[in-house]
């Protein structure tokens, strides 16, 4: 106890030195801990999204592109599959197909056309407003709301896919009717619309007298369609009844289809149906794709571990030196203690107490920091991963 008492008095009196030593030691302990936590969390987050998505149906091609587009709403644009594939899954009775149409964007965020089932499937509660109800409406993720400063009552305009689009397909202005609660997933950075709305953006569905020009809005009068002004269509209560789709929905496109099989048996049967290498579509297990990707990425982690180890070694040596110097500085105290009849080992005890106190303080701080990281890891990793997408 006396040794700890004296060590504490010493550390307190030399608080600046103690602070530096504790901070450095805490950092040395904290940095690898934090890195490990963040890395394993991101690893888990990456795989978790894959594992939360049982099967993915898409056009035959890069499995990674398909996974990235369907799970992370990345810029990859896999060849579309037709809604006929969705109906086929549906008719098989083996699982629930959830189509995703991710070909368009607005203000840098991907427009995800899907069905209401997606929200149930991912468990996305609303923070504000209501869910999608009418053609043309949009529900935005928390990050979109924050980044664009938009909420219920505001509108978004889909980015024109091609400035020289001569097919008469204009961007669509969509009212925001709901904002989702943060989910720490790519869903935070998505603009959700009914897949039918996505088809309207694509020009498959349209209304009549539906082109509104910026000039119209400015003057309140109709103007001739003019390529020089930004033109977009808007779905209003007046024109909604004129919106219609051409042809059978079976032929309409989806970027990918999330398939939620009823059970493992159904999953096996479904997978078997898409094995034909000559088929136009593939049914993949996104968890596997993500695991493959993660394995590759996390080989870098080995290097990172090595760097951490080297730095930790160097820093530990520095701390050791600092402690050694401090022991040297206390040689006179040691001499005094001996003359005053300090028991054998007292001096050693004193120094040990000091070192142990320092290191436990540092360890405590590091663990505390790690705990903070650990509690917020999912949010921060979600944010980090979203940065990439």
How far apart are the C-alpha atoms of 184 and 38, rounded to whole Å?
14
Q: Which residues bind other proteins (CB under 8 A)?
A: 2, 5-6, 9-10, 12-14, 90-91, 93, 96-98, 115-117, 120, 130-135, 137, 166-170, 194, 196, 203, 206, 208-211, 240-241, 243-246, 332-333, 335-344, 346, 350
When the beta carbons of 209 and 263 are compared against other proteins, the nearer one is 209
Count of residues for the chain?
A: 389
Give the nearest distance from C-beta 6 to other proteins in angstroms: 6
How far apart are the C-alpha atoms of 295 and 168, rounded to whole Å?
46
Residues linked to residue 283 through DSSP beta bridges, in sequence order: 57
205: left (phi over 0), alpha (psi -120 to 50) or beta: beta
Give the nearest distance from C-beta 184 to other proteins in angstroms: 24
- Could you write out the DSSP letters of every residue in 157-217? EPPPS-TT--SS---EEEEEEEEEPP-SSGGGGEEEEEHHHHHHHHTSEE-SS-EEEHHHH
- Could you write out the DSSP letters of every residue in 59-95? ESS-HHHHHHHHHH--S--PPPEEHHHHHHHHHHTSE
Give the nearest distance from C-beta 76 to other proteins in angstroms: 24
When the beta carbons of 3 and 290 are compared against other proteins, the nearer one is 3
Radius of gyration of the chain (CA): 30
Q: How far is CA 145 from CA 133, 190, 234, in A?
A: 19, 10, 21
Question: Within 13 A of 67's CA, how many CA atoms are on the CB side?
Answer: 25
When the beta carbons of 65 and 85 are compared against other proteins, the nearer one is 85
When the beta carbons of 192 and 274 are compared against other proteins, the nearer one is 192
When the beta carbons of 196 and 234 are compared against other proteins, the nearer one is 196
Give the nearest distance from C-beta 148 to other proteins in angstroms: 22
Please answer whether residues 253 and 34 qualify as being in contact, where contact means their C-beta atoms are separated by less than 8 angstroms. Answer: no
When the beta carbons of 8 and 380 are compared against other proteins, the nearer one is 8
Please answer whether residues 383 and 189 qualify as being in contact, where contact means their C-beta atoms are separated by less than 8 angstroms. Answer: no
Give the nearest distance from C-beta 349 to other proteins in angstroms: 9
When the beta carbons of 15 and 324 are compared against other proteins, the nearer one is 15
Q: Regarding beta strands 81-82 and 190-194, do their DSSP bridges make them parallel or antiparallel, or are they unpaired? A: unpaired
How far apart are the C-alpha atoms of 17 and 361, rounded to whole Å?
14
Give the nearest distance from C-beta 55 to other proteins in angstroms: 15
When the beta carbons of 12 and 299 are compared against other proteins, the nearer one is 12
Give the nearest distance from C-beta 141 to other proteins in angstroms: 17
When the beta carbons of 231 and 281 are compared against other proteins, the nearer one is 231
Give the nearest distance from C-beta 16 to other proteins in angstroms: 13
Question: Within 13 A of 331's CA, how many CA atoms are on the CB side?
Answer: 4
Give the nearest distance from C-beta 331 to other proteins in angstroms: 12
């Amino acid at each position: 106890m006396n040794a700890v008492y004296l060590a504490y008095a010493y550390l307190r009196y030399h608080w600046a030195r103690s602070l530096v030593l504790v901070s450095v030691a805490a950092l040395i302990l904290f940095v690898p801990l934090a890195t490990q936590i963040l890395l394993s969390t991101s690893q888990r987050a990456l795989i978790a999204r894959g594992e939360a998505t049982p099967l993915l149906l898409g056009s035959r091609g890069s499995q990674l592109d398909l996974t990235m587009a369907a799970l992370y709403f990345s810029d990859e644009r896999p060849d579309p599959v037709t809604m006929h594939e969705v109906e086929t899954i549906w008719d098989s009775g083996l699982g629930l197909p959830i189509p995703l149409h991710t070909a368009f964007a607005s203000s840098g965020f991907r427009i995800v056309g899907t069905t209401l089932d997606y929200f149930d499937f991912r468990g996305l509660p609303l923070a504000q407003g209501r869910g999608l109800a009418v053609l043309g409406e949009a529900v935005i993720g928390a990050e979109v709301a924050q980044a664009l400063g938009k909420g219920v009552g505001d509108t978004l305009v889909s980015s024109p896919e091609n400035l020289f689009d001569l097919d008469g397909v204009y961007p669509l202005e969509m009212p925001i009717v709901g904002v989702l609660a943060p989910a720490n997933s790519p869903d935070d950075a998505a603009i959700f619309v009914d897949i039918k709305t996505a088809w309207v953006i694509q020009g498959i569905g349209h209304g009549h007298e539906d082109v509104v020009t910026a000039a119209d809005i400015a003057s309140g009068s109709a103007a001739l369609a003019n390529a020089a002004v930004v033109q977009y269509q808007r779905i209003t209560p007046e024109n909604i009844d004129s919106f219609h789709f051409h042809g059978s929905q079976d032929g309409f496109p989806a970027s990918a289809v999330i398939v939620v099989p009823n059970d493992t048996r159904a999953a096996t049967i479904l997978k078997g149906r898409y094995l034909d290498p000559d088929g136009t579509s593939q049914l993949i297990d996104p968890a596997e794709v993500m695991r493959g990707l993660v394995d590759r990425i996390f080989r870098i982690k080995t290097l990172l571990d090595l760097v951490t180890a080297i730095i930790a070694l160097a820093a530990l040596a520095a701390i050791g030196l600092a402690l050694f110097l401090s022991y040297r500085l206390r040689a006179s105290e040691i001499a005094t203690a001996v003359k005053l009849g300090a028991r054998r080992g007292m001096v050693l005890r004193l120094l040990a107490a000091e070192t142990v106190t320092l290191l436990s303080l540092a360890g405590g701080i590091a663990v505390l920091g790690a705990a903070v990281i650990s509690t917020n890891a999912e949010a921060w990793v979600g944010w980090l991963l979203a940065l990439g997408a």
